[in-house]
Amino acid sequence: MSVILKVENLKKYFDVQGGKLHAVDGISFSINEGETFGIVGESGCGKSTLGRTIIHLYQPTSGKIIFENKDITFISKKECRELLRKMQFIFQDPYSSLNPRMTVIDIIMEPLLIDGMKRKDARQRASELMEMVGLSKMFETSYPHELDGGRRQRIGIARALALEPKFIICDEPVSALDVSIQAQILNLMLELQEKLKLTYIFITHDLSVVKHISDRVMVMYLGQTVELAETQELFSNPVHPYTKALLSAVPSIDIDEQQKREILHGEIASPINPQPGCRFAARCKYSTSRCKTDDPQLVEIKPGHFVSCYNV
Amino acid sequence: MSEVILSVKNLSVEYRVEEGIVKAVNDVSFDVKSGETLGLVGETGAGKTTIALSIMGLLPVPPAVVTQGEILFEGENILAANEKYLRTLRGNKISMIFQDPMSALNPSTYVGDQISEVIMLHNKVSKDKAREMAEECLEMVGIPKNRYAEYPHKFSGGMKQRVIIAIALACNPNLLIADEPTTALDVTIQAQILELMEQLKEKKGTSNILITHDLGVIAKMCDRVAVIYAGEIVEMGTLRQVFKNTAHPYTKGLFDALPGNSLSGKRLKPIKGSMPDPTSLPENCKFANRCFNKSDKCDQRIKLVDIGDGHLVRCVSPLCSEGVKSH
Ligand SMILES: Nc1ncnc2c1ncn2[C@@H]1O[C@H](COP(=O)(O)OP(=O)(O)OP(=O)(O)O)[C@@H](O)[C@H]1O
Ligand SMILES: Nc1ncnc2c1ncn2[C@@H]1O[C@H](COP(=O)(O)OP(=O)(O)OP(=O)(O)O)[C@@H](O)[C@H]1O
Ligand SMILES: [Mg+2]
Ligand SMILES: [Mg+2]
């Protein structure tokens, strides 16, 4: 299997009041062609920023992004447009990511037209895409605000698929959907993956979804990777205390199963000018004095299983 | 027996748009008792947010039209109330966590200030004190207080959602309507938020209407559950009745669609077909065309009936009756 995307020590800092906000702070990984790479982590830990930096919606601060063996870290506008033919993004927020003044069919046609397709062909293709994601024809002339969240999310998916990309970064593509439509969309994504040999980065909070769909999973905490392993391994042998807390907090649908969920307490570190030391230390029940002063490194504790913690 | 604080009676709501009349809510009735949490689940587009907006008196009119029904809150019909009364109600007694955080946040005001404004509205405190309390609110929802002076668009999706939650909780409402409050949150923060909601319920006896498609969250939080399909309640009962004694084929379909419940390897099991076009709903059972249990009997208008102990089901051949365990 060949590596399609490689990210090396990638950083994205924002200038904010009070200093530099370390949204993505030294992330490295590589993804194989045809793989689904899941990313989970606390809300605000930098998952969307990581995805957006890879696809050049944000300029990287430093580090390297290599796509199909080509360094794309710093590229021109024109190269960026070419990149979008191969790499697409499904946005987290189906509300504000769609242009409210465009009809559904126009939203889906837009990338095709920008890419130079004739209007008539683009329309035809957009209709096909709508059918593929299960949007009925009657919505072609609707505006996004007239639709419920689930349908809006499907517009985003149809739009991302329009240019037949090889690589799609999916930012919470199913979290606005009810479980049945979620199952439909996930099945659709799996089918498309087989048919078109797609590679996915799949960002989600839903651990049962990530477990179901991903080959490998990366767990992030405040801009950094705390654990990375094959899905099966991560779910059966979580090592990092944050990963453990995360897995224990999944609410079960069995109303008789009394769960022992771990509610995290302690101060949440700020990503603005972060202090040295492990960023989870203040909330970690195993932390020692060293955790508060030194930065733990990501180490391979077993083939393919990486953890960043002093207490493993 | 605790008192009923909210009573929705035979509510029907339509959206009159160019494409036709969308029958979003059809003859929905339910009660919420003081200190109770009622869960609303159902397919996207089923009408859950429309029900919530009706209770808040915030339906977009036009295109929305309430065609029948009453919503009684502490005995007063919200649907007939004037805007002034509604405004005091919304500020003080009822608050809502909106599904779409951006529509509820002011893009040009610091997130922290948006919280302290609400605090000042409800408490006689100085500006400095309100700021201090707002900082505490931020920390309560897991956002460091040094992020007080930032604009909403600099926040991640889940952080915006948490600001909305902080604002809603700062109102100390008697009734909290939470529309998908934790969908954008990871499970550890979600657990923290759900804990806050429970604390409020314990401390103040707040009633909650919790709209979510996360069945795990429903299982954790709700006393009773209503399942909505194509604008109608198809099943309603206690958490145990609906989860352990599932009677409507649609509800069963939701459970079967969950990842982790699929027996067939990688493929999940969605409910086949899709919800009927809300501009031309059938008169007979609206779920019939997707139902694995369909028969000739389904070809009629179906009533919501009590199959025992207040477990309501809109189906001529429910999968079980109370007392008979299935699942
Ligand atoms: N344009 C921006 N300017 C300044 N700060 C930003 C900007 N975008 C994101 N941030 C900050 O970067 C951090 C990471 O945000 P990001 O949206 O990547 O989080 P996330 O992991 O996707 O969270 P969620 O799960 O809630 O969507 C947050 O602290 C956020 O406030
Ligand atoms: N402003 C509007 N104009 C026209 N139709 C609308 C409007 N708002 C909602 N609808 C329609 O009303 C129906 C019910 O929508 P509603 O938003 O209440 O569903 P929901 O159950 O909250 O769905 P979701 O789970 O996706 O949030 C849908 O068919 C929707 O398209
Ligand atoms: Mg995000
Ligand atoms: Mg809704």
Query: Taking CA A54 as the corner, what is the angle to CA A193 and CA A243, rounded to the nearest 5 degrees?
Result: 75
3-class DSSP state for residue A309?
Answer: coil
Is there a domain that residue A96 lies in?
A: no
Contact B187 A205 (CB under 8 A): yes
The predicted-structure confidence for A107-128, as pLDDT tens digits, reads as follows 999 999 988 899 999 999 999 9
Shared-domain flag, residues A248 and A112:
no
Domain boundary pick from A138, A161, A184: A161
Is there a domain that residue A230 lies in?
A: yes
User: Could you tell me the pLDDT band of residue A45, with boundaries at 50, 70 and 90?
Assistant: very high
Contact B156 A16 (CB under 8 A): no
| DSSP-derived secondary structure for B50-100 | HHHHHHHT---TTTEEEEEEEEEETTEEGGG--HHHHHHIIIIIEEEE-SS
Read off the pLDDT of each residue in B299-313 and give the average, rounded to a whole number: 90
**Nearest residue to A172 (alpha-carbon basis) of A95, A115, A260, A120:** A95
**Nearest residue to A285 (alpha-carbon basis) of A264, A310, A302:** A264
User: Could you tell me the pLDDT band of residue A232, with boundaries at 50, 70 and 90?
Assistant: very high
3-class DSSP state for residue B21?
Answer: strand
Tokens of B127: 């500006």
Would you state the pLDDT for residue A242? 93
Backbone dihedral region for residue B249 (phi beyond 0: left; psi -120 to 50: alpha; all else: beta): alpha
Can you tell me the distance from the alpha carbon of A20 to that of B260, in angstroms, rounded to the nearest whole number? 41
- Domain CATH number, residue A28: 3.40.50.300
Atom of ligand 2 nearest to the CA of B25: 14
pTM of the model: 0.87
Question: Does residue B263 carry a pLDDT above 70?
Answer: no
Matching residue, tokens 């500006």: B127
Any idea what DSSP says for residue B30?
E
Of the candidates B156, B158, B257, the beta carbon closest to that of A183 is on: B257
Shared-domain flag, residues A22 and A156:
no
The predicted-structure confidence for B201-248, as pLDDT tens digits, reads as follows 888 889 999 999 888 889 989 999 999 999 999 999 999 999 999 999
A201 has which bridge partners?
A: A37, A169
Q: Which residues of B touch A238 (CB under 8 A)?
A: none
| DSSP-derived secondary structure for A251-291 | PPS-TT----PPPP-SPPPPSBSPPSS-TTGGG-TT--TGG
List of residues 6+ apart from A69 with CB closer than 8 A: none
Question: Within 13 Å of residue B297, how many CA atoms lie on the same side as its CB?
Answer: 9
Residue of A22, A25, A40, A48 best suited for mutating to test ligand 1, as the one with most atoms within 8 Å of CB: A48
Question: Does residue A149 carry a pLDDT above 70?
Answer: no
Q: Give the E-state strand segments of chain B in sequence order.
A: 4-17, 20-33, 37-42, 64-73, 76-77, 94-97, 175-179, 207-211, 224-229, 232-238, 305-306, 312-313
Shared-domain flag, residues A131 and A275:
no
Q: Which of A69-73, B66-70, B90-94, B242-246 has the lowest mean pLDDT?
A: B90-94
Is there a domain that residue A92 lies in?
A: no
Please give the residue of chain B at the shortest CA–CA distance from A146.
B17
List of residues 6+ apart from B23 with CB closer than 8 A: B12, B14, B231, B278, B279, B281
| Gap from CA of A21 to ligand 1 centroid (Å) | 9
Question: Does residue B261 carry a pLDDT above 60?
Answer: no
Pocket of ligand 1 (CB under 6 A): A 14, 16, 21, 23, 43-49, 92, 271; B 154-159, 184
Shared-domain flag, residues A127 and A21:
no
- The count of structural domains within chain A is 2
More confident residue, A38 or A133: A38
Matching residue, tokens 């409402």: B173
Shared-domain flag, residues A202 and A72:
yes
Please give the residue of chain A at the shortest CA–CA distance from B242.
A255
A199, A33 contact by CB (below 8 A): yes
Is there a domain that residue A144 lies in?
A: yes
Read off the pLDDT of each residue in A225-248 and give the average, rounded to a whole number: 94
Can you tell me the distance from the alpha carbon of B13 to that of B64, in angstroms, rounded to the nearest whole number? 7
Shared-domain flag, residues A157 and A169:
no
Domain boundary pick from A113, A139, A161: A161
B139, B112 contact by CB (below 8 A): no
Would you state the pLDDT for residue A262? 67
A96, B102 contact by CB (below 8 A): yes
Is there a domain that residue A244 lies in?
A: yes
Question: Does residue B70 carry a pLDDT above 80?
Answer: yes
Q: Which of A163-177, A292-306, B54-68 has the lowest mean pLDDT?
A: A163-177
Question: Does residue A63 carry a pLDDT above 70?
Answer: yes
Question: Does residue B108 carry a pLDDT above 70?
Answer: yes
More confident residue, A222 or B257: A222
**Which of B19, B188, B246, B254 to probe the A interface (max A CBs under 10 A)?**
B188
Would you state the pLDDT for residue B140? 85
Would you state the pLDDT for residue B208? 94
CA distances from A171 to A104, A205, B246 (A): 20, 10, 33
| Gap from CA of B101 to ligand 4 centroid (Å) | 12
Phi and psi at B255, nearest 5°, equal -65, -40
Would you state the pLDDT for residue A269? 83
Give the torsion through C-alpha atoms of B44, B47, B50, B51, to 10 deg.
-130
Is there a domain that residue A97 lies in?
A: no
**Nearest residue to A27 (alpha-carbon basis) of A44, A42, A49:** A49
Domain holding A255, by residue range, is 3-86+165-307
Would you state the pLDDT for residue A258? 56
How far is C-alpha A135 from the geometric centre of its chain's CA atoms? Answer: 24
A41 has which bridge partners?
A: A220
* Closest chain B C-alpha to A180 CA, distance in angstroms: 5
Shared-domain flag, residues A294 and A205:
yes
Tokens of B185: 């949150």
Residue of B111, B151, B159 best suited for mutating to test ligand 1, as the one with most atoms within 8 Å of CB: B159
Contact B146 A175 (CB under 8 A): no
Residues with CB under 5 A from ligand 4 (ion): B 49, 99
A12, A53 contact by CB (below 8 A): yes
Contact A43 B195 (CB under 8 A): no
Shared-domain flag, residues A20 and A150:
no
Share of chain B above pLDDT 90, in %: 39
More confident residue, A46 or B186: A46
Domain boundary pick from A113, A135, A161: A161
Can you tell me the distance from the alpha carbon of B118 to that of B130, in angstroms, rounded to the nearest whole number? 9
Atom of ligand 1 nearest to the CA of B158: 26
Shared-domain flag, residues A60 and A183:
yes
Is there a domain that residue A269 lies in?
A: yes
More confident residue, B153 or A11: A11
Report chain B's mean pLDDT, rounded to a whole number.
87
**Nearest residue to B311 (alpha-carbon basis) of B327, B323, B326:** B323
Shared-domain flag, residues A123 and A229:
no
Shared-domain flag, residues A144 and A293:
no
Is there a domain that residue A91 lies in?
A: no
Shared-domain flag, residues A142 and A255:
no
Residue of B22, B25, B54, B254 best suited for mutating to test ligand 2, as the one with most atoms within 8 Å of CB: B22
Can you tell me the distance from the alpha carbon of A147 to that of A150, in angstroms, rounded to the nearest whole number? 8
Question: Does residue B326 carry a pLDDT above 60?
Answer: no
Read off the pLDDT of each residue in A285-294 and give the average, rounded to a whole number: 88
Question: Does residue B327 carry a pLDDT above 60?
Answer: no
Q: Which of B56-65, B74-83, B107-116, B196-205 has the lowest mean pLDDT?
A: B196-205
Pocket of ligand 2 (CB under 6 A): A 146-150, 178; B 15, 17, 22, 24, 42, 44-50, 60, 63, 99, 278
B314, B303 contact by CB (below 8 A): yes
Choose from A268-272, B91-95, B251-255 the range with maximum mean pLDDT.
Answer: B251-255
B186, A42 contact by CB (below 8 A): yes
Of the candidates A151, A253, A255, the beta carbon closest to that of B240 is on: A255
Share of chain B above pLDDT 70, in %: 96
Please give the residue of chain B at the shortest CA–CA distance from A48.
B156
Per-residue burial over A256-287, b if 16 or more Cβ lie within 10 Å, else e, is eeeeebbebeeebbbbbebeebbbbbbbbeeb
Give the strands of the sheet with B20-33, arranged side by side.
Answer: B20-33, B4-17, B64-73, B76-77
Can you tell me the distance from the alpha carbon of B52 to that of A102, in angstroms, rounded to the nearest whole number? 27
| Gap from CA of B45 to ligand 1 centroid (Å) | 29
More confident residue, B7 or B200: B7
Q: Does the N-terminal peptide bond of residue A94 adopt cis geometry, omega within 30 degrees of 0?
A: no
State the pairing for strand pair A199-203/A216-221: unpaired
Please give the residue of chain A at the shortest CA–CA distance from B269.
A183
